[in-house]
Amino acid sequence: MTYNQIAFALEILKLIAAKPRKREELSELLAEFLDKNDKNADDIPQKLTRTIRKLRDCGFNIKSAPHHPYELLESNFPVILSPQQRQALYMAAHFLANMGFSAPASQIIRIGKLSEADQPPNFKVDFSPPIDYSENQITTIVQKLQEQFERKCRYSIYYENSNGEAKFWDLDLSGLRLHNGVLYLFAFVPDADSRNIQKRPNVEQNFIFRVDRIKTFGGTTNIPWFWQEFPTLTIRYCMTGPLKTYQPRRQNERVIERNIEKEYVVIETTEEFIFWFSQRILQYGSNVQILEPEWLVQEIKQELIKAYQNYENNS
Number of independent structural domains in the chain: 4
What digits encode the pLDDT tens for the residues 95-108?
A: 777 766 777 888 88
Residue 132 covered by a domain: no
User: How many alpha carbons fall within 13 Å on the CB side of residue 1?
Assistant: 17
| Structural domain contains residue 199 | yes
With a cut of 50, say whether residue 288 has pLDDT above it: yes
Residue 124 falls inside a structural domain:
no
What confidence tens digit (pLDDT) does each residue in 202-218 have? Answer: 999 999 999 999 999 99
- pLDDT for 162-197, tens place per residue? 999 999 999 999 999 988 878 899 999 999 999 999
Q: Are residues 143 and 113 in the same domain?
A: no
> Within a domain: residue 123?
no
Among 181, 204, 224, the domain-final residue is 224
More confident residue, 219 or 279: 279
pLDDT digits (tens, 9 = 90+) for 268-277: 999 999 999 9
273 φ, ψ (degrees, to nearest 5): -140, 115
The predicted pLDDT at position 4 comes to 77
The answer to whether 197 touches 205, Cβ cutoff 8 Å, is no
Cross-strand bridge partners of residue 74: 61
Residues 214 and 267 in one domain: no
Does any domain span residue 126? no
What's the rounded Cα separation, in Å, for the pair 290 and 284? 11
CATH number of the domain at 285, please: 3.30.70
Q: Which domain holds residue 285?
A: 233-314
Return the pLDDT at 106: 84
258: exposed, middle or buried (C-beta count within 10 Å: 0-12, 13-18, 19+)?
middle
Same domain, 70 and 103: no
Stretch (H or E) spanning 296: helix 294-314
On whether both 88 and 51 belong to a single domain, the answer is: no
Please determine, for residue 77, whether its predicted confidence score (pLDDT) is greater than 80.
Answer: no
* Mean pLDDT (whole number) for 156-160: 96
**Residue 187 in contact with residue 173, Cβ under 8 Å?**
yes
pLDDT digits (tens, 9 = 90+) for 228-243: 999 999 999 999 999 9
* Beta-sheet strands, E only, within 96-181: 153-160, 166-171, 174-179
Torsion of CA 73, 77, 82, 83, to 10 degrees: 60
In a domain, 129, yes or no: no
The answer to whether residues 49 and 112 belong to one domain is no
The CATH number of whichever domain residue 56 belongs to comes to 1.10.10.10
Split at pLDDT 50, 70, 90, the class of 299 is: very high
